[in-house]
């Protein structure tokens, strides 16, 4: 880095242009630039870094307020350390240098550079994940977003059906996933109102079920559906019912697209995740399948040096408690600052592990019965324990072993 002089770079990221600042180890501003968010701007940035001693073997570290985008991808090539600084943390550092609360983009770039100069040891650089792990992260997060979006639209559709079409909710109540099932969507498409549903014949119902992909129980389900659609229900006025039916079809179209997106992305994850070297270790844990295992890998990555120990991973996931002490007062609470995606995956993982692992179930029951934990707290404790076990197995390339993971719980259960 420019001989014996240490140089640090800060970039204030924006949608169309970025401000760059370079400082030395004394805090002196060496250079500042305003670059565009295109290939020409990236080249100008790399040339600026090279002018001040940036080399492939000894690159200048960079602080930026985002971890995504083409600019970050360009900076992450080679051995360069890129630090994604939380904007809230950067705002606190800004107050160290000025109490007037003034703010500017060039000033923010200088603040980011000084963060590395003074506290680089306190910040974690972006992990050196493999391209396959980063691709899996993109697919797993997109599939998770599509699943959430599908559920949100399904809730909107359910709310609307309650207003004018309770027969449909009653007819689909016995089906798992309810309105998201292909059969439910096909029936709503051909019968958007209760009046049209009541006129459906057995043959039409059976044809709709076949179009939706049903192979078994078609005759029995068609009779049940016909009975539910022809039962006595309150009705909206005909004109209002028709208008609500059109609104329902509009939401149904959104639900169809969301279901298709979730299914297509799930297939893409199922193709990519098994190719990763860590997939066997992750899927050996009870409660982790391909989709949920891919979500876990997406958040922890495959850079095994990212976390110094299991405690760091647990804090990152929000599974370990945090202690707040001041004077004579002390409290232990759950973490609010965490990786929300990993925390959500951990809740599903712990819930599924209760039926897949006798030791996990015994551990959960002990937390509930002996320690007095609520359900969510007991599940979080189980997730915390299994996450530490996952860290150990990934570090040592070992598969999950029930007897090793829960020896005390299994003995107590016996």
Domain shared by 347 and 251, yes or no: no
Determine the pLDDT at residue 1. 44
Domain assignment of residue 1, yes or no: no
Determine the pLDDT at residue 100. 58
Which element (helix H / strand E) includes 299? helix 290-300
Determine the pLDDT at residue 410. 53
What spatial distance separates the first Cα and last Cα of the chain, rounded to whole Å? 62
Determine the pLDDT at residue 414. 53
- pLDDT < 50: residue spans in the chain: 1-3
Domain shared by 254 and 303, yes or no: no
Of 285, 400, 292, the closest CA to residue 353 belongs to 285
Domain end among 69, 96, 126? 126
- Structure-derived torsion over alpha carbons of residues 334, 336, 342, 348, reported in degrees to the nearest 10: 50
Total domain count for the chain? 3
Determine the pLDDT at residue 93. 79
Residue with token string 């076990």: 389
Determine the pLDDT at residue 413. 56
Determine the pLDDT at residue 285. 96
Domain assignment of residue 69, yes or no: yes
Residue with token string 């409290």: 331
Are the CB atoms for 157 and 255 separated by under 8 Å? yes
Determine the pLDDT at residue 2. 44
Domain shared by 224 and 165, yes or no: yes
User: What DSSP letter does each residue of 276-293 carry, written as one string?
Assistant: STTHHHHHTSTT--HHHH
Domain end among 239, 271, 303? 271
Are the CB atoms for 282 and 292 separated by under 8 Å? no
- Whole-number average pLDDT of the chain: 89
User: Quick check: helix, strand or coil at residue 389?
Assistant: helix
Domain shared by 57 and 121, yes or no: yes
Domain assignment of residue 174, yes or no: yes
User: Quick check: helix, strand or coil at residue 233?
Assistant: coil
The model's pTM is 0.84
Domain shared by 331 and 394, yes or no: yes
Domain shared by 160 and 104, yes or no: no
- Report the relative pairing of strands 7-12 and 62-64 from DSSP bridges: parallel
Domain span holding position 70:
7-126
Determine the pLDDT at residue 296. 96
């Amino acid at each position: 880095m420019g001989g014996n002089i240490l140089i640090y770079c800060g970039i204030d990221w924006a949608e169309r242009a970025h401000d760059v600042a370079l400082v030395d180890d004394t805090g002196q501003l060496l250079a500042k630039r305003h670059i565009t968010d295109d290939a020409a701007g990236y080249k100008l940035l790399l040339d600026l870094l090279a002018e001040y001693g940036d080399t492939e073997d000894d690159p200048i570290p960079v602080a930026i307020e985002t971890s995504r985008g083409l600019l970050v991808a360009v900076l992450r090539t080679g051995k360069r350390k890129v630090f994604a600084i939380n904007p809230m943390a950067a705002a606190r550092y800004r107050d160290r240098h000025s109490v007037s609360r003034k703010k500017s983009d060039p000033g923010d770039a200088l603040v980011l550079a000084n963060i590395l100069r003074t506290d680089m040891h306190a910040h974690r650089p972006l992990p050196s994940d493999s391209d396959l792990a980063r691709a899996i992260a993109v697919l797993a997060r997109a599939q998770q977003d599509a699943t959430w979006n599908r559920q949100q639209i399904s809730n909107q559709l359910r709310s609307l059906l309650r207003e004018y079409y309770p027969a449909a909710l009653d007819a689909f109540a016995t089906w798992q996933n309810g309105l998201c099932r292909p059969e439910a969507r096909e029936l709503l498409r051909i019968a958007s109102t209760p009046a049209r549903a009541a006129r459906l014949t057995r043959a039409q119902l059976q044809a709709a079920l076949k179009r939706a992909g049903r192979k078994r129980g078609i005759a029995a389900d068609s009779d049940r559906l016909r009975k539910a659609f022809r039962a006595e229900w309150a009705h909206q006025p005909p004109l209002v019912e028709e208008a609500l039916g059109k609104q329902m079809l509009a939401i149904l179209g959104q639900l169809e697209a969301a279901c298709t997106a979730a299914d297509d992305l799930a297939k893409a994850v199922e193709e990519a995740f098994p190719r990763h070297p860590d997939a066997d270790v992750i899927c050996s844990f009870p409660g982790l399948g391909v989709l949920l295992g891919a979500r876990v890998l997406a958040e922890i990555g495959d850079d095994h040096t990212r976390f110094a120990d299991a405690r760091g991973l647990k804090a990152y996931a929000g599974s370990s408690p945090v202690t707040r002490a001041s004077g004579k007062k002390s409290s232990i609470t759950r973490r609010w600052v965490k990786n929300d995606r990993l925390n959500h995956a951990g809740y599903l993982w712990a819930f599924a592990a209760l039926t897949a692992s006798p030791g996990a179930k015994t551990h959960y029951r002990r937390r509930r019965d002996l320690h007095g934990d609520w359900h969510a707290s007991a599940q979080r404790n189980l997730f915390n324990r299994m996450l530490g076990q996952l860290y150990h197995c990934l570090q040592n390339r070992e598969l999950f072993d029930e007897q090793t993971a829960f020896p005390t719980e299994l003995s107590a259960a016996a």
